[in-house]
C-alpha cells in the first residue's frame, strides 16, 4: 500500500509540475479537466448511479467546462460566477452538513447530481482561471488548503478534544480547525515577507493583495474564511461517502482512493479565492 501511494504521488506530482510550468496555461487546463471529469463520474456513483450512467455526469461536467472555454471565461470570467459559487458552498454546504449524512439520500437525485456538476465545473473554471492569472497566485491558493489540512491534522492529534462533526468525520475536532486556521495565517505572513519580498514571482499573489487592499484585519478574516471553507469541502465529500457507505470516492488513484478524495477541500476554496481577489481588486 505504501509503495502504491508513493508511486502514484510521484506520477501525479510529475504530471502536475510539467503542466503547471508549461509555457501556456493549456496543459494545466487539460490535465485538470481530465481529473475533474473523473471526479464527476465518482460523484455520480456516490449518489446512486451505476458506472455507465455515472459517466454521463462526468461528461456533463466536461460539457459545462467546454462551454466556459468557448465563452472565453478562462481569460475573464464574470465575477457573478464566483459569488454564485460562494452561495452554493456557504449555504448549500452548511445546510447539507447540518442535516447530516442520513438525510443526504432523501434529497432528489436531480438536485444531488446537479449540485455536484455545478460545484465541480465551477471549481475547474476557478482553478484554470487562477493558473491564467499566474503560477504564484495558483500556488498561494493551493498552499493555503494544504497548510490548513496539515496544521489541522497535527493540531487535532495533539490537542483534539471536541469533535467537529462526529456523524460525518469522527476524526475531526474543533481544535484541529483552529490549528488549521492558525497555520494559514502563518503561511500568509511567510509568503508575503519571504516569497513575495525576495523571490521573483510571475504574478499577483492572494495574500499580498488581501493585505494591501483589505488591511490586516480584513485580510485575516478573508483567510480564516477560506480555511473554514476548505473544511466544509472536506466534510461535504465525507458526508456523501458516508451516505453511500463508501470509504473512498473510487480506486482511480492506487493507494490514494479517488480524485474527489484528493480535491474535496479545493472545490470551494478556489472559486471563493477568485471572489475575494475580485473584491480586493476593487476595494
Mean pLDDT for 173-193 is 95
**Whole-number pLDDT of residue 254:** 81
pLDDT tens, residue by residue, 26-81: 899 999 999 999 999 999 999 999 999 999 999 999 999 999 999 999 888 999 99
- 201 versus 261: the higher-pLDDT residue is 261
pLDDT tens, residue by residue, 216-259: 999 999 999 999 999 999 999 999 999 999 999 999 888 778 99
Angle between helices 26-46 and 2-20 (to 10 degrees): 140
- Residue 23 above 70 pLDDT? yes
Confidence of residue 195 (pLDDT cuts 50, 70, 90): confident
Q: How many CB atoms lie within 10 A of CB 91?
A: 10
Give the pLDDT confidence score for residue 1 in this predicted structure. 57
Q: Would you state the cell numbers that stand for residue 191, as one nine-digit string?
A: 509568503
CA 13 → CA 6, 10, 212, 243, 268, distances in Å?
A: 10, 5, 32, 31, 22
**pLDDT > 70? residue 200:** no
Q: Give dist(CA 4, CA 10) in Å, integer.
A: 10
Which among 283, 266, 276 has a CA at the least distance from the CA of 128?
266
Cβ–Cβ under 8 Å, residues 265 and 230: yes
The answer, yes or no, to whether residue 147 has pLDDT greater than 70, is yes
- The confidence score (pLDDT) of residue 22 equals 86
- pLDDT score for 135: 87
pLDDT in tens, 93-120: 999 999 999 999 988 999 999 999 999 9
Angle at 101 between CA 240 and CA 172, to 5 degrees: 85
C-alpha cell at 3: 509503495
Q: By residue range, what is the domain housing residue 35?
A: 2-282
Number of domains in the chain: 1
The pTM of the full predicted model, rounded to 2 decimals, is 0.93
Amino acid at each position: 500500500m505504501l509503495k502504491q501511494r508513493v508511486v502514484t504521488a510521484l506520477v501525479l506530482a510529475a504530471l502536475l509540475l510539467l503542466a503547471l510550468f508549461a509555457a501556456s496555461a493549456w496543459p494545466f487546463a487539460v490535465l485538470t479537466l481530465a481529473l475533474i471529469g473523473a471526479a464527476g463520474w465518482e460523484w455520480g456513483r456516490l449518489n446512486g448511479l451505476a458506472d455507465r450512467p455515472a459517466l454521463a455526469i462526468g461528461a456533463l461536467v466536461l460539457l459545462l467546462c467546454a462551454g466556459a472555454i468557448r465563452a472565453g471565461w478562462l481569460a475573464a470570467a464574470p465575477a457573478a460566477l464566483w459569488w454564485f459559487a460562494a452561495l452554493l458552498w456557504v449555504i448549500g454546504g452548511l445546510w447539507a452538513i447540518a442535516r447530516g449524512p442520513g438525510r443526504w439520500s432523501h434529497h432528489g437525485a436531480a438536485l444531488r447530481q446537479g449540485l455536484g456538476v455545478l460545484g465541480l465545473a465551477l471549481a475547474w473554471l476557478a482553478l484554470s482561471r487562477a493558473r491564467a492569472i499566474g503560477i504564484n497566485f495558483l500556488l498561494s491558493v493551493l498552499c493555503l488548503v494544504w497548510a490548513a489540512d496539515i496544521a489541522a491534522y497535527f493540531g487535532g492529534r495533539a490537542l483534539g478534544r471536541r469533535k467537529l462533526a462526529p456523524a460525518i468525520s469522527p476524526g475531526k475536532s474543533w481544535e484541529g480547525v483552529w490549528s488549521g486556521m492558525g497555520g494559514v495565517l502563518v503561511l500568509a505572513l511567510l509568503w508575503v515577507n519571504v516569497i513575495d519580498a525576495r523571490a521573483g514571482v510571475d504574478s499577483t499573489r492572494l495574500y499580498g493583495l488581501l493585505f494591501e487592499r483589505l488591511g490586516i484585519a480584513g485580510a485575516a478574516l478573508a483567510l480564516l474564511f477560506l480555511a473554514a471553507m476548505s473544511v466544509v469541502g472536506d466534510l461535504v465529500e465525507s458526508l456523501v461517502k458516508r451516505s453511500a457507505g463508501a470509504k473512498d470516492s473510487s480506486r482511480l488513484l492506487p493507494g490514494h482512493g479517488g480524485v474527489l478524495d484528493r480535491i474535496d477541500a479545493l472545490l470551494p476554496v478556489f472559486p471563493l479565492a477568485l471572489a475575494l481577489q475580485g473584491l480586493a481588486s476593487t476595494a
